[in-house]
């Protein structure tokens, strides 16, 4: 397992692929926009002009693409170009049912599939400290473990095909709710004229402390909404959460509210901002823009 084909060199994929290079893997990257491939080559990787050429001869293929239709389309190209026994790890966040569909379609070509979405944001991808939630077969997970260890720190096999995506949906529900409450708390504190830096420091040491508070409260206070994680991608994920909850007959009232707020953020033309731009809506609703 030394040669990796890596498809999707965006905010997350690029640093993940670079960490694989640093761990000694021979990584061949492909991205739809060529400039991302050039950047990857400048960082020690090899570049390919097509999915097929990135995948040809690879022991492992990793995808880090935006959404379910992207993974569905690229997985067909992977199945056509990869050799039997190749391990295909999809790290994108997509619908659990599409993950199961991709697994079944690839199995017909003898390709082993793991759904392995990640959490930890751009910083986790750069630092190689991602949480990786893996669905698929136990033996394939064991084979992939060293590859995961080059990109992440908390790596857990959570169940059969699609289970990784189900856990990731729960992750996105919790993160969105947490960001919304941090946004409300910050606008509330500002309205009271409290020094937000001091408030964030003390809140971080108690029960209100969280990874979201740690990573996002500072930039939110200074209205820095450069992604990070684009609101339009979180909007996609909350759609996944809502339909998966409905499928299971589970009610997620706060999830539904935050999903509508994220939808409004995107509808107002802020989809390319970081998801922490939910703060803009709290200001708007409070008449404090
Ligand atoms: P991104 O848009 O920065 O990266 C996606 C990359 O895929 C882009 O470079 C795009 O050009 C490329 N691409 C799209 N379609 C392609 C195709 N058919 N063939 C080749 N390349 C193609 O997005 P991102 O933030 O890196 O997120 C990627 C995935 O990871 C998403 O599913 C997202 O939900 C998830 N995710 C993102 C974060 C984050 O903090 N950004 C964290 C965890 C998970």
In the DSSP assignment, the letter for residue 90 is E
Ligand 1 centroid to Cα of residue 9, in Å, is: 7
> Has residue 1 got a pLDDT over 80?
no
The CA distance from 127 to 152, in Å, is: 8
Instruction: Retrieve residue 235's tokens.
Output: 């909007």
Q: 215 CB less than 6 Å from ligand 1?
A: no
264 contacts: CB under 8 Å, gap ≥ 6:
281
Q: Is 168 an annotated catalytic residue?
A: yes
**What's the pLDDT band for 146 if we cut at 50, 70, 90?**
very high
pLDDT at 58 exceeding the cut of 80: yes
Band (pLDDT 50/70/90 cuts) for residue 49 is very high
Residue with tokens 């959490």: 119
User: For the chain, which residues make up each domain, given as ranges?
Assistant: 3-160, 166-285
* CATH number listed for the domain at residues 3-160: 3.40.50.720
Q: Provide the phi-psi class of 15: left if phi over 0, else alpha when psi is between -120 and 50, else beta.
A: alpha
CA distance 169 to 61: 23
Can you tell me the distance from the alpha carbon of 123 to that of 211, in angstroms, rounded to the nearest whole number?
Answer: 12
Paired sense of beta strands 46-47 and 60-63, if any: unpaired
**What are the φ and ψ backbone dihedral angles of 204, each rounded to 5 degrees?**
-65, -25
User: pLDDT-derived band of residue 289, with 50, 70 and 90 as boundaries?
Assistant: confident
Atom of ligand 1 nearest to the CA of 91: 30
pLDDT at residue 88 in the model: 98
Q: List Cα–Cα distances, 53 to 60, 87, 194, in angstroms.
A: 13, 16, 57
Q: How far apart are CA 186 and CA 194, in angstroms?
A: 9
Cβ(122) to ligand 1 under 6 A?
Answer: yes
Alpha-helical regions (H) of the chain: 13-22, 34-42, 51-55, 68-81, 96-107, 121-127, 138-149, 163-191, 196-204, 211-221, 231-248, 253-265, 278-285
User: What is the Å distance from ligand 1's center to 227 Cα?
Assistant: 12
Among 18, 47, 66, 211, which residue has the most ligand 1 atoms within 8 Å of its CB, making it the best to mutate?
Answer: 66
Residue 32 Cβ contacting ligand 1 at under 6 Å: yes
Average pLDDT over residues 83-112: 97
> For 149-188, how does the pLDDT look when each residue is reduced to its tens digit (9 = 90+)?
999 999 999 999 999 999 999 999 999 999 999 999 999 9
| CATH number for the segment(s) 166-285 | 1.10.1040.10
Q: What is the pTM of this model?
A: 0.96
* Cα of 183 from ligand 1 centre, angstroms: 25
Q: What angle do helix axes 211-221 and 163-191 make, rounded to 10 degrees?
A: 50
Angle at the Cα of 268 from the Cα atoms of 263 and 269, rounded to 5 degrees: 105
- Degrees to nearest 5, angle at CA 103 with 64 and 114: 50
CB of 66 shorter than 6 A to ligand 1? yes
Q: What is the mean pLDDT of residues 131-140?
A: 98
Distance of CA 213 to the CA centre of its chain: 19
């Amino acid at each position: 397992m030394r040669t990796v084909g890596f498809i999707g060199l965006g905010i997350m994929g690029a640093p993940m692929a670079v960490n694989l290079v640093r761990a000694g893997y021979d990584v061949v990257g492909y991205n739809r926009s060529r400039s991302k491939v050039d950047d990857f080559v400048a960082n020690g990787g090899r570049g390919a002009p097509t999915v097929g050429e990135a995948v040809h001869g690879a022991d492992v293929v990793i995808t880090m693409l935006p959404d379910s239709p992207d993974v569905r389309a690229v997985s067909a190209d992977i199945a056509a170009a990869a050799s039997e026994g190749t391990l295909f790890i999809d790290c994108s966040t997509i619908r659990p049912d599409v993950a199961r569909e991709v697994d079944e379609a690839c199995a017909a070509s003898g390709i082993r599939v793991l759904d392995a979405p990640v959490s930890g944001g751009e910083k986790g991808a750069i630092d190689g400290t991602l949480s990786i939630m893996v669905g698929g077969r136990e033996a394939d997970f064991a084979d992939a473990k060293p590859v995961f260890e080059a990109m992440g720190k908390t790596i857990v096999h959570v169940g059969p095909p699609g289970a990784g995506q189900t856990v990731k949906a729960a992750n996105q529900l919790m993160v969105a709710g947490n960001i919304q409450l941090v946004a409300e708390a910050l606008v509330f504190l500002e309205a009271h004229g409290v020094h937000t830096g001091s408030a964030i420091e003390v809140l971080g040491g108690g029960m209100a402390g969280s990874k979201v508070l740690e990573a996002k409260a500072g930039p939110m206070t200074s209205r820095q909404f450069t992604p990070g994680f684009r609101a339009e991608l979180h909007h996609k994920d909350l759609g996944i959460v809502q339909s998966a909850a409905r499928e299971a007959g589970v009610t997620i009232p706060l999830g539904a509210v935050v999903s509508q707020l994220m939808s409004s953020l995107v509808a107002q033309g802020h989809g390319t901002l970081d998801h922490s731009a939910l703060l803009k809506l709290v200001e708007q609703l409070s008449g404090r823009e």
